[in-house]
Every structure is written in structure tokens, then in C-alpha cells.
Amino acid sequence: MSPRPLILVVIDGLTPSMLEAVIGSGETPNLTALAAHGAYRRATSVFPSLTPVCLSSIATGAHGDVHEIPHLVWYDRREERLVEYGSSFGAVRAAGIGRTLRDTLVNMNGQHLGKRAVTLFELLADAGLRTASVNFTAYRGRTEHRSALPFLGSVQGPERFFFYNLFSSDRTGAPLSFRNRPAGSIDAYATAVGRWLVTRDAFDFLVFYLSDYDYASHAHGPDTALEALRRCDESIGSLADAAGGIDALLERYAVVVMSDHGQTHVREATSLEEVYAGVEGVLPLGSNRAAHVYLREGCRLDPRRVAARLDGVAAAEVVLFREGADAVARREGEELVFRPAAAGGFALSGDATILDHPDALGRVWAALGNPNAGAVLVSAAEGHEFADLGGGHHVGGGSHGSLVTGDTEVPLLTVGVEGTASSIVDVAPLVLAHFGVAAPAYALGRAA
């Protein structure tokens, strides 16, 4: 008997506490109905818990040491230039609008996503299954698609591929996505496409990505964007209506609902450019609640000395770097040194409380192993954020990226899928197992 097709719903930035508060409240009847039929748990994100990194992990079942996407903004050593995926409009202007658009829409998948990583869209297509995605940023697949904008050229994506009206494999009649984002127009576009796909039973695997909740939460703060979550619930309800109701939807499809990261409140922003002003060869790149510090030609400081300059900077809770075969986590002059142990886990020396965050050792080790990472990584303290290239920040609202629990924990709801996942990197193996497709070697053994 063939497995049911599967819909993976990703609600960007949704916190477990927010979802748990609305289930059964009457505010989100469709999410409540799914919860009544399925299994729920809290899972962990990756580090930095920023959308391009997280979505790449969901798509590939890998941390950044395999998929190689390090941050929202990073320095490409091969091309000797900045890569910016859209931290803010000011950051986009500072990096160059044309360059940022191409990096975000085309190069992230075509050039930056690591060749050792394999996406769900690639693996399932290779197994003869029909793949589809709506607005999902980590989209690399086996089918070529040409953009509605000639300068973007063509990309390799899922068989059915819809990306903010810029790439559309089919005519669906969906409205323009960017006409009024604060009012939810991007998710309205996704909803129209999702209805079209479900009505035609046009996929075996669909990633249905809803980004407007994160946008609202950045503006107003985590656990306050109830209206945006109601719209997300209505979007899921629209898929159910297209199938003939929630019961009919669950007869036809398995469903996974999750987030990519959490969010926490921001009360203060810090410029790392000011911290390292006048230090030759040091390039700090911060955005949201994480930063990479790159050492360029002419820098006379080693990573340890660069990290030590952040002692006493209130915004920097934990500063991370590699030293030989070890990883070092530094906080206010105290250090934890660790490396993988032969028998599994990690061998530790120093103050273990420095990394008492969820799944911190594994997440940090992988982040430091990303070939595109800076020499020093910084995780922000509660309430703090690092200003981006354009000076942008979310003071008064919400943000994410750090190791802290609020940025890290995500909700995970599965319906009609055997097994569960403790991390967002475990979702890809879970999906592959549902279809009887082998997971890549780097993902074996992680599924909980």
C-alpha cells in the first residue's frame, strides 16, 4: 500500500508557547483539529536560529557544517564579498539591492547550499515522487524553472514550484504576494496556490510555507501576533476546505506542522562594528540575535583575542571559536572547551554552564564547522540584538538567532506520520521514512 501524500506546513517564527496557548481556545479551530488527531512535542532549532539556516536544515536534514548556509549575512571568502539574504531594507541597500535579490532568490540554492547536502525535493524526485513547494526558501530540486523576471534566469526546484510570483510552474490565479505584507498578502498568495494544489491532488510531498507570522512577531513581539496566527489557521483551513473538510484532508494526506525557530523580546540593539572599530582585518557581521566575526588579510589578532574583546559587552552572552581540534565557548572570561568524544557525546573541560542551552554542544560544534562561518561566532544575551549592515534592529519587538531557549524551541505537530523528531534536522529523515526513501548518510541515526 502506497503511503499517503504528505503536507509539511512551516509557520515561520511560531513559538511553542503561542501554539500551546491557542489550541482548544477557539481562536485556531484548524490547528486545534489537527492537534486532536496527532502527536505534539517541542523540538529544537539549529544555531544560528535564523531563517535561511533553519529552512536549509529542514530541507536537508543537516546542520550548517553540511548545508553550508551560515547566517542571514556572511562573507564569501571565495568571491571576497558580502552575502546578504534580506535582514532589513537598510541592509539590502547597504549590500546592494540587485546583488541581494540574486543571492536570496537564486544563489542561495544554486551556489551557496552545500553540494554534500541533498534536499527532500531531490531525494523524493529521485524516488519518482511528485514534489511541490510554496514560498519555501531552501527549494533546490530536480526540475528547471524560468523566472517571470528575465534577469533571474532559471533555477532547479521541485516539480510544482511557486515562489512569491517570481517562479510559477503553473497558472493558479493566485494574487500578487507583495501587495500588502502587513495585512498578510504573502500568506494569502501561498493559500491560493495551496488550494489549487490540493484541489488537483497535484503532489506527493508539499512544503507549505507561511512567513507572515514571523513578520508580525518581529514588529510586535513574540506571542503577541494572534491575528497573524489566526490567518495561518485560516490558510490551513483553506487546504482542508479544498479537500472536503478536515477529516477528508487527513484521510488523503499526512500532515506535519512546525516552526523553524522561536522568538524572544528585544529591548536593546548593539553595533558590533563599533565594538571592533579601528581593529584592522576584523569584519563583524551581525543580524538579529547572532553574529559572525571574520578575520581578513591584515588582521593581527587570533580568534581568542578577537573573542576576548567582547568580554564586558552586555549583548554578547556566549562567544564561540575553534582552537585546534577543540571548540571554545567563552563568557565574561570564563571558558568551556569541548570536542566530540570517541564513545559519543562530547568531552568537556571548564565551566559547563556556559552552554546550558538546549542541544547546545551539538549545535555549536556544527555551526563552527560550517566552511562559511566566521572565525568567531556570537550568541546574543536575552533582550539584546545585533544591528545589521543598515543599522536595522527589532527593538520593541521580537527577534531570534541565539542559543537561548526562547529562540531555539519550536512546536512540532505530526498527524499520520510514524515516529517523531527532537530537532528540525530530524524532520527530513522522518518525511523520507514516511515514503520509504533512505535518508542520506549524514542524517542516519539522528531521528528520535
- Domain boundaries along the sequence of the chain: 6-69+113-263+404-443, 266-397
For residue 444, pLDDT over 80 is answered with no
The set of residues, in sequence order, having a beta carbon less than 8 Å from that of 361 and lying 6+ positions away, is 338, 345, 346, 355
The set of residues, in sequence order, having a beta carbon less than 8 Å from that of 255 and lying 6+ positions away, is 6, 7, 9, 34, 38, 249, 413, 414, 415, 416
Is the domain defined by 266-397 classed in CATH 3.40.50?
no
Q: What pLDDT is recorded for position 448?
A: 37
The mean per-residue pLDDT over the stretch 345-356 comes to 96
Report, in angstroms and rounded to the nearest whole number, the Rg of the chain calculated over CA atoms. Answer: 21
For residue 337, pLDDT over 70 is answered with yes
For residue 447, pLDDT over 60 is answered with no
The CATH class given to the 6-69+113-263+404-443 domain equals alpha beta
Q: What pLDDT is recorded for position 2?
A: 78
Instruction: Render pLDDT for 152-194 as a digit per residue (tens, 0 to 9).
Output: 999 999 999 999 999 999 999 988 888 778 788 999 999 999 9
For residue 347, pLDDT over 70 is answered with yes
Contact 37, 415 (CB under 8 A): yes
- Number of Cα atoms under 13 Å in the Cβ half of residue 72: 25
- Chain-wide mean pLDDT for the chain? 95
The mean per-residue pLDDT over the stretch 393-413 comes to 98
